[in-house]
Amino acid sequence: QVQLVESGGGLVQAGSSLTLSCVASGSIFIGRAMGWYRQVPGKERELVASLGGGGTSSYADSVKGRFTISRQNGKKALFLQMDSLKPEDTGVYFCNKLSDVKWQWGQGTQVTVSS
């Protein structure tokens, strides 16, 4: 089984930046399509950024132009660079593979953006 660990969240003001990191035990990210997901209270977890196994990235309209998903050079970790943060970016961020057959979700990392 795979254990996912997200980190890098925090409490920041609007316009600030954060970098989220994701690592996994029991598996590797190389060759896998991966994504960052966000969940807020009372709403379904949604995909905000994805990175295909071949390196093609995609973003939700709400974060396009502000967030950047990437892999470590050695393909050992997944990152989400978050710039120009807005209050609506607030939520718990999780990483997982894009496949419908998901690994066990980690605890996520809380991102809170104040106005």
Mean pLDDT of 1-16: 95
pLDDT band at 27 (very low <50, low <70, confident <90, very high): low
Q: Which of 28-37, 61-70, 82-91 has the lowest mean pLDDT?
A: 28-37
| pLDDT, position 28 | 67
- State the Cα–Cα distance between residues 51 and 41, nearest whole angstrom: 26
- State the Cα–Cα distance between residues 114 and 89, nearest whole angstrom: 10
Q: What is the DSSP letter of 86?
A: -
Look at residue 2 and tell me whether its pLDDT is greater than 90.
no
Please enumerate in sequence order all residues whose Cβ is within 8 A of that of 36, keeping only pairs 6 or more positions apart, or say none.
20, 22, 47, 48, 49, 50, 67, 69, 78, 80, 93, 94, 95
Residue with tokens 């999780």: 94
